[in-house]
């Protein structure tokens, strides 16, 4: 019952249009915040007691408890740890988590939960933190508490997304710009139902390779890379970093063509990005390749894997008027080809970032 609570937080998910695996190299990304969201209704209290509707679970912990539990509650506990490290000690709360953002569907439900908690604590305890700072703290929850070495894209999109826009972000400087996204086209998210155990280790391995290569070249951000600068790198480093350099370039071009309203050219860039990440970053899998290929055959402007890869989700860009029937036939084709998987699809409307309402 919402009238028991003092605050309601609406925290979106995110979907990345283009700029994959660039956010831990200081590169460019172009995500959007989703209308699918996490809702947190809460009231300040001494300890933290939180119930989730989706998992039908209730957890309680003291705000000084720093123990990791390898469960969703770590995303909440981690907020207290990173806030304390940054010099803030907010009190606890009693709250209810709900909303329509599916967990584990490639839409960054973890970043959404972190930002819901951080934005609530920021308002309820008057911490005075900016949205940018909340995004950085959310990333620290992952890096320092949960133990995932992700970049800042997900948290930034959740914190600063804008309705009807994508967010063009330079992850090196955190400068960003909202890019209008036309209502006439629809982003379809297709989750393959493939969860890869190896995602974390493959992700960390890629990260180590490109960080070592950038150190060897003495560049602080991948946007400074010149393709003919790669002398002296090992072939594997050259291959991975080559992808990153081209991906940064594609993000810049994607922004230009979107601003011109050229959906065809935007779609072509998505497809090029997919084949480059599949071949040179080796972050795809047969199911994702199948979705991309089939989506294009069935009339999408473009499609590509989105998020970390090695399973998870792909996006396809289609005319808004054809989105429902396109999604259905893509799903039918996929279910016939991979009857062992359980896919999920979502039509995404670009939305605003995390917001807090006093009830």
Residue pair 187/38 in contact (Cβ under 8 Å)? The answer is no
Out of 11, 12, 24, 119, name the contact with ligand GLA by CB under 6 A. Answer: 24
Segment near ligand GLA (CB under 6 A); pick from 151-159, 232-240, 260-268, 313-321: 151-159
Task: Name the residue number minimizing CB distance to ligand GLA.
Answer: 150
Residues contacting 285, CB < 8 A, separation 6+: 192, 194, 196, 309, 310, 311
Site string for ligand GLA, 284-313 (x = CB under 6 A): -----------------------xx-----
Nearer Cβ to ligand GLA, position 254 or 356?
A: 254
| Angle in degrees, CA 153, 13, 349, rounded to 5 | 110
Active-site residue, 268 included: no
Residue 20 found at the interface with ligand GLA (CB under 6 A): yes
CA distances from 316 to 208, 211, 252, 261 (A): 30, 30, 20, 17
Beta carbon of residue 20, minimum distance to ligand GLA (angstroms, whole number): 4
CA distances from 155 to 12, 118, 230 (A): 10, 11, 31
- Of 259, 213, 144, 206, nearest to 20 by C-alpha is 206
- # of chain residues touching ligand GLA (CB under 6 A): 10
Site string for ligand GLA, 117-146 (x = CB under 6 A): ------------------------------
Nearer Cβ to ligand GLA, position 98 or 143?
A: 143
Beta carbon of residue 307, minimum distance to ligand GLA (angstroms, whole number): 4
154, 170, 268, 276: which is the annotated catalytic residue? 154
Residues contacting 340, CB < 8 A, separation 6+: none
Segment near ligand GLA (CB under 6 A); pick from 18-26, 84-92, 250-258, 274-282: 18-26
Nearer Cβ to ligand GLA, position 93 or 203?
A: 203
- Of 319, 77, 106, nearest to 327 by C-alpha is 319
Residue 170 token pair? 């330079």
Residues contacting 357, CB < 8 A, separation 6+: 7, 8, 9, 10
Residue 151 found at the interface with ligand GLA (CB under 6 A): yes
Residue 23 found at the interface with ligand GLA (CB under 6 A): yes
Nearer Cβ to ligand GLA, position 24 or 243?
A: 24
DSSP class per residue in 72-133: THHHHHHHHHHHHHTT----EEEEEEEESPPTTSSS-HHHHHHHHHHHHHHHHTT----HHH
Could you list the residues that contact ligand GLA (CB under 6 A)? 20-21, 23-24, 150-151, 153-154, 307-308
Query: Residues with catalytic annotation?
Result: 154
């Amino acid at each position: 019952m919402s009238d028991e609570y003092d605050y309601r937080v609406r925290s979106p998910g995110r979907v990345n249009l283009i700029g994959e695996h660039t956010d831990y190299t200081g590169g460019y990304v172009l995500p959007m915040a989703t209308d699918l969201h996490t809702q947190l209704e809460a009231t300040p209290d001494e300890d933290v007691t939180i119930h989730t509707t989706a998992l039908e679970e209730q957890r309680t912990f003291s705000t000084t408890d720093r123990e990791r539990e390898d469960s969703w509650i770590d995303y909440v506990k981690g907020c207290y740890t990173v806030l304390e490290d940054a010099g803030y000690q907010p009190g606890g709360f009693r709250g209810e988590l709900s909303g329509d953002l599916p967990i584990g569907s490639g839409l960054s439900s973890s970043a959404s939960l972190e930002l819901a908690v951080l934005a609530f604590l920021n308002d309820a305890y008057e911490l005075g933190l900016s949205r940018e700072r909340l995004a950085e703290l959310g990333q620290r929850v992952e890096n320092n508490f949960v133990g995932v070495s992700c970049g800042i894209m997900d948290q930034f999109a959740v914190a600063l997304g804008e309705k009807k826009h994508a967010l063009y972000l330079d992850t090196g400087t955190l400068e960003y710009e909202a890019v209008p996204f036309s209502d006439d086209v629809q982003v379809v998210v297709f989750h393959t139902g493939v969860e890869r155990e190896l995602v974390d280790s493959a992700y960390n391995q890629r990260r180590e390779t490109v960080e070592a290569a950038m150190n060897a070249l003495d560049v602080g951000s991948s946007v400074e890379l010149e393709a003919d600068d790669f002398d002296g790198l090992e072939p594997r480093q050259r291959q991975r970093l080559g992808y990153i350099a081209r991906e940064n370039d594609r993000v810049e071009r994607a922004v230009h063509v979107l601003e011109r309203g050229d959906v065809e050219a935007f779609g072509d860039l998505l497809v090029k990005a997919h084949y480059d990440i599949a071949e040179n970053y080796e972050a795809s899998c047969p199911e994702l390749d199948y979705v991309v290929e089939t989506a294009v055959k069935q009339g999408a402007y473009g499609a590509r894997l989105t998020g970390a890869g090695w399973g998870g989700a792909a996006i396809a860009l289609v005319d808004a008027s054809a989105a429902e029937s396109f999604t259905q036939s893509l799903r039918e084709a996929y279910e016939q080809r991979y009857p062992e998987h359980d896919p999920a699809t979502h039509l995404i409307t670009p939305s605003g970032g995390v917001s807090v309402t006093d009830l």
